Amino acid sequence: MNLVLVAPEEVGADGVCTLSDARAEHVRTFLHAEPGRTFRVGVLDGLVGEAVVREVSSAGVTFSMDCREAALPPWYDLVLALTRPRSLRRILFQSAAMGVRNIFLVGAEKVEKSYFSMHLLREEVYRPVLIEGLMQGRTTAVPRVRVVPKLRALWELLPPEQTLRLIANPSPEQPPMPVSGGIPLIAVGPDGGWTPAEICAFEQQGFQAVSLGERPLRTDTAAVALPMVVQALRCRR
């Protein structure tokens, strides 16, 4: 946990907050909290700054907050063919840590229809996973998750601004990776891959096929690897 995140309603008018859950345990155990000690803190969907410990007890940790710094902004969007719960949990955590803005969980021909009834698709279940990822990535903007069972319904939901649209497609040719064109919108298919018809539909929406090599990757690997490659290339420019 590189940043302790609190909800706006947890902070008093005087900027004082008391935690008694796993965050308090982390501050006590790993940050060695004692009165006067400082640590990094942030407000969900808000600013980041410094906290100063006021009191530590078995019941919780009380600290004052001074948050004036802008958090790292989200920088990409993800279209993800819905995968099994264990893999999805990993992807949600890692994507939030890496700075995803929107996550579109979509159906595809090779996606099990039963996945759309999984417990993890409830906001009260996936939101804590996203927040845990934000604390790892030291940022505050909670990603927006949209569940889209029918792929054809996705096109009207995509961000309206000019974007760089990429679709993962294993290929021995490895076409050049484009890195400019606005906020990247990255589409990652199911473990069995997108069908030719689905790839064609994405291409009609302006998506460019990109490859991480000819070896097929699992969804939870590609969903992390591809954004990192894009970010690394953009940082070199």
pLDDT digits (tens, 9 = 90+) for 186-199: 999 998 889 999 99
Whole-number average pLDDT of the chain? 91
pLDDT of residue 104: 98
Average pLDDT over residues 32-44: 95
Q: How high is the pLDDT of residue 117?
A: 96
Q: Which token pair is 158?
A: 């995509």
Rounded to whole angstroms, the Cα distance separating 72 from 198 reads 34
Between CA 122 and CA 105 the distance in angstroms is 12
| Token pair for 13 | 């008018």
Comparing C-alpha atoms, which of 6, 84, 77, 2 is closest to residue 39?
A: 2
Amino acid at site 111: V
Q: Which residue carries 């990822």 as its tokens?
A: 133
Residue for token digits 């069908």?
Answer: 195
Q: pLDDT tens across 121-135, in order?
A: 999 999 999 999 999
Partners of 76 in the beta sheet? 100
- 85/91 Cα distance (integer angstroms): 10
DSSP state of 221: H
**Could you tell me if 166 and 135 are in contact, meaning their C-beta atoms sit under 8 angstroms apart?**
no
**Half-sphere exposure (Cβ direction) of 189: Cα atoms closer than 13 Å:** 23
143 close to 184: Cβ distance less than 8 angstroms? no
Query: Residue 52, exposed/middle/buried by CB under 10 A (0-12, 13-18, 19+)?
Result: middle
The answer to which of 109-113, 187-191, 215-219 has the lowest mean pLDDT is 215-219
Q: 116 pLDDT band (50/70/90 cuts)?
A: very high
What's the mean pLDDT in 230-237? 74
> What's the rounded mean pLDDT across residues 65-78?
96
What mean pLDDT do residues 191-216 have? 88
Region 67-93 average pLDDT: 96
Tell me which residue of 110, 86, 81 sits closest to 195, measured CA to CA: 110
**Max Cα distance, the chain (Å):** 61
Residue 115: per-residue pLDDT: 95
With a cut of 60, say whether residue 168 has pLDDT above it.
yes
What tokens were used for 220?
């939870």
